Amino acid sequence: MPLQISFELSDRDLAHFTQAMEAARAAAAGKSADEIIAASAKLLEGAGKVEVPDFIAERLDRLDALIAMLRDDGWHLPEEDKQRVLSALVYFADPKDVIPDSLPVLGYFDDAIAIEMCVKDLKHELDAYDEFCEFRQGEAERRGLDPAQVGRADWLEARRDELVDRMHRRRNRQTGSGYGDSSGYQRRGYTTPYRPGMIRVR
């Protein structure tokens, strides 16, 4: 019988995680983009070898999407957007995170919270990339192509530009003033073969 547990992270709790993420950024200061992406993918690889609760698995799937959008040649993020995603991934490049990943069941709990915080900040990037992947999947199948081999096709580029522009507009409105191949953790549709504030975790 399923058991549902809900809890809220207070401002103090979030400040603790924000501090940990800032410490991770400092520790990863000398790492290249490839090293940060590889470390994040390694975390997912490790998580794929153990049984994790569904709420952690769902958030690891979002981390997979962040990795995918950085590796995806068809999506080819502008440099500023790429740096936004890399900045979110640096926490996962630090092996000394809040809870050791080797701890059974709870080892990825802090990672799930960090992912939730990143997803909140990168909502428009993730929405745009999800829509891009869905479009590419459907259009490639209609044309009898393998989505993983499409690359920067002309018929895909126009849709990609539309989505990136929309992503920027939505992000700018929100702030008042975006993020291939996937790690292969779980989700179909990428390019593999296949602010602080109150956060509620379920």
Residue 121: phi and psi, rounded to 5, are -75, -30
Least confident segment among 43-57, 71-85, 172-186: 172-186
Q: Token digits for 191? A: 């390019």
Report residue 165 CA to chain centroid gap.
20
48: its two tokens: 């794929």
Task: Give the pLDDT band (50/70/90) at residue 44.
Answer: confident
Give residue 184's pLDDT: 43
Encoding tokens for residue 50? 């153990």
pLDDT at 108 over 90: no
State the pLDDT at residue 92.
78
Q: 130-162: per-residue pLDDT in tens?
A: 999 999 999 999 999 998 888 888 999 999 999
Name residues whose C-beta falls within 8 Å of residue 155's C-beta, 6 or more positions apart in sequence: 139, 143
Tokens 């993730």 correspond to what residue? Answer: 126
The predicted model scores a pTM of 0.73
Overall average pLDDT of the 80-99 stretch: 77
Averaged pLDDT score across all residues of the chain: 77
Mean pLDDT score, 97-120: 69
Check residue 6 and give its pLDDT. 57
Proportion of the chain above pLDDT 90, given as a percent: 32
Asked if residues 187 and 65 have their Cβ atoms less than 8 Å apart, the reply is yes
Question: Tokens representing 92?
Answer: 């996962």
Task: Write out pLDDT tens, residues 164-177.
Answer: 999 999 988 876 64
Higher-confidence residue of 62 and 93: namely 62
Q: Round to whole Å and give the CA distance between 5 and 55.
A: 11
| Cβ count within 10 A of residue 115 | 25
| pLDDT band at residue 9 using 50, 70 and 90 as cut-offs | low
Q: Which of 59, 69, 67, 79 is nearest to 132 (CA)?
A: 69
Specify the higher pLDDT residue, 178 or 137.
Answer: 137
